[in-house]
């Protein structure tokens, strides 16, 4: 599945974007945990945000090299918190993460599949690699 990571310094990173997604028509998972939220994309695909970073993917967030895209100020990657996401629609991802960033109290970044680091408000869907 295609995807990337939503990053922030906020240790409770998941709750703010989850609220934005639910307010935009998304749904939280049901059952023992509500640590996943999903919203349908216009083309029938979905954007799925996970609260927990699997241990086997920590290296993708902590280690580089990273390519910082224009307009982004690179955070200290040892201090960021990350929520992985899955989506195969680059345009929808850029739209959804911009909405999340606009509603946030602090900076949000996106780390894509090529190790490119984007300011979440300025992701270029034509260059984003999921």
List pLDDT tens digits, range 82-94: 999 999 999 999 9
- Flag whether pLDDT at 60 surpasses 80: yes
Q: Give the pLDDT score at 71.
A: 84
What pTM did the predictor assign?
0.94
Average confidence score pLDDT of the chain: 93
Query: CA-to-CA distance for 91 and 48, rounded, in angstroms?
Result: 15
**CATH topology for the 3-122 domain:** TATA-Binding Protein (3.30.310)
List pLDDT tens digits, range 9-34: 999 899 999 999 999 999 998 766 77
Ramachandran class of 31: left when φ > 0, alpha when ψ lies in -120 to 50, beta otherwise: left
Task: Kindly state the average pLDDT of the residues 102-118.
Answer: 95
User: Beta strands of the chain (E only): which ranges?
Assistant: 3-8, 27-28, 36-40, 46-50, 67-68, 81-86, 109-111, 116-119
Which residue do the tokens 């509500």 mark? 34
């Amino acid at each position: 599945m295609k995807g990337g990571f939503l990053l922030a310094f906020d240790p409770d990173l998941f709750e703010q974007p989850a609220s934005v997604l639910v307010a935009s028509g998304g749904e939280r998972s049901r059952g023992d945990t509500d640590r996943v939220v999903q919203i349908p994309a216009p083309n029938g695909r979905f954007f799925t945000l996970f609260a927990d970073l699997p241990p086997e993917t920590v290296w993708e967030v902590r280690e580089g090299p990273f390519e910082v895209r224009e307009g982004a100020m690179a955070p200290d990657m040892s201090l960021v918190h990350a929520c992985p996401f899955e989506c195969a629609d680059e345009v929808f991802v850029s739209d959804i993460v911009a909405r999340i960033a606009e509603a946030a109290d602090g900076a949000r970044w996106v780390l894509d599949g090529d190790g490119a680091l984007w300011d979440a408000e300025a992701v270029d869907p034509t260059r984003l690699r999921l």
